[in-house]
Chains A and B, each alone.
Chain A
């Protein structure tokens, strides 16, 4: 069974540009979570999508946005990139979160903003 897949794995952008990161959850998983991990820092919760709807949002500005598609895949969009947006962006999926408590993480997309 394929795990959570993310693309691209690495990318370089310049300040002011826009970026779209993609995530495919494990087959059958309906919830997708996005996290940001800046270098040397912990994982910061960004967004949670379930059944196509945004369910919760972390303390990030509106230029961080996303969506979940009918097949439960998800995109994270970051507009007007700033240097401090350089980070590893991790996507995770879950099926029955309340029962198993287990999130399955992808390997992340490493974004560098110059």
Chain B
């Protein structure tokens, strides 16, 4: 699976949009981009995933660049409960290794 690079930490004001970047310059054509988050001492939570089109659900939006070498997770109106470590993961849609490989992620702190 392709490796991802994320900033170590970011701050965001409550009520503003939080934009979390992720670089995955070695991504292959059959690899999806997944985003998870982990609130302190809890199990990770799936947020969203995409292949090449932008995706939106009730939690967030995922913007993938046309060359697919980077993506941005957008939380449109961040709340204090969105403070968490956010993981960007790239994984193939098929193959024997179905586990997710988590990196260090981005610690997002939403400030009041």
How many B residues, CB 8 Å from partner? 23
Chain A, interface size: which category? 20 to 34
A48-B98, A97-B98, A98-B94 in contact; A4/B43 too (CB < 8 A)?
Answer: yes
Chain B CB within 8 A of A56 CB: yes
What chain B residues lie within 8 Å of A21 (beta carbons)?
A: none
Please tell me if the beta carbons of A90 and B44 are within 8 angstroms of each other in the complex: yes
Number of interchain pairs (Cβ within 8 Å): 54
Q: Which chain A residues border B93 with CB–CB below 8 Å?
A: 98, 101
Inter-chain contact B99/A56, CB cutoff 8 Å: yes
User: Which of chain B's residues have a CB closer than 8 A to the CB of A107?
Assistant: 42-43
Q: B-contacting residues of A (Cβ < 8 Å)?
A: 4, 31, 33, 35, 42-43, 45, 48, 55-56, 58, 88, 90, 92, 97-98, 101-108
Residues of chain B touching chain A, judged by Cβ–Cβ distance below 8 Å, are: 32, 34, 36, 41-46, 49, 91, 93-94, 96-105
